[in-house]
Amino acid sequence: MYEICPELPEDTPEVEALYDLCFAPGRTALSSYRLRDGVPRVARLCLVLRDPSHVLMAAIRYWPARVAGRRILLLGPVAVHPTAQGEGLGGLLMRDSLARARTMGFARVLLVGDAPYYSRFGFQRLDGVEMPPPTNPDRVLGLELRPGAWVDVTGPVQREPEPPRPVPTAPDRTACIQVDPPKDPAS
């Protein structure tokens, strides 16, 4: 069985190493990171996926941000270890984290990525929503967790201006779930 858990402080060095492995050098110089600098992550949605040997295989993070003053979730980065890509682990983390986001009451999600991959989770190009340049507008994708949540929500994506609300319960291992491997890696 695999295990999906909230990212705890002790996971963070491994998560950073996984992102460094999966993305080009200088990933944090991307303009989208300026929306994240100094803004606390949405801790309960930042998840790690470990294999039965407890090896970190995938991770996903979310940040709060705003469009037209409305709260949005900024999804990413999501990464799967190169030895396990294509086995469905990315899909597992996407679906589990989005389900948690819906349960927590979030209405809308935005990411910058490849539409051919993210459309399977319901993401569509967001016309009229601008990520900091130089972002290709075709890669700015949105998902409604509540029907109509992106209607008339347009303009530049902006940093979350307010300090985070007090978190009633910090994420811990009680929020972990056990999952079967989605695809047989040998098949």
Ligand X SMILES: CC(C)(COP(=O)(O)OP(=O)(O)OC[C@H]1O[C@@H](n2cnc3c(N)ncnc32)[C@H](O)[C@@H]1OP(=O)(O)O)[C@@H](O)C(=O)NCCC(=O)NCCS
Residues near ligand X, by CB under 6 A? 22-23, 76-80, 85-91, 113-114, 116-117
Smallest distance from ligand X to CB 65, Å:
15
Q: Which is nearer to ligand X, 68 or 139 (CB)?
A: 139
Gap between the Cα atoms of 20 and 4, Å rounded: 21
C-alpha closest to that of 57 among 175, 172, 185, 186: 185
Q: Which is nearer to ligand X, 48 or 78 (CB)?
A: 78
Give the CB-nearest residue to ligand X. 90
Asked if residues 64 and 43 have their Cβ atoms less than 8 Å apart, the reply is: no
Smallest distance from ligand X to CB 113, Å:
5
Gap between the Cα atoms of 67 and 154, Å rounded: 6
Q: Which is nearer to ligand X, 83 or 174 (CB)?
A: 83
Smallest distance from ligand X to CB 165, Å:
26
Asked if residues 158 and 67 have their Cβ atoms less than 8 Å apart, the reply is: yes
Smallest distance from ligand X to CB 154, Å:
23
Gap between the Cα atoms of 20 and 33, Å rounded: 14
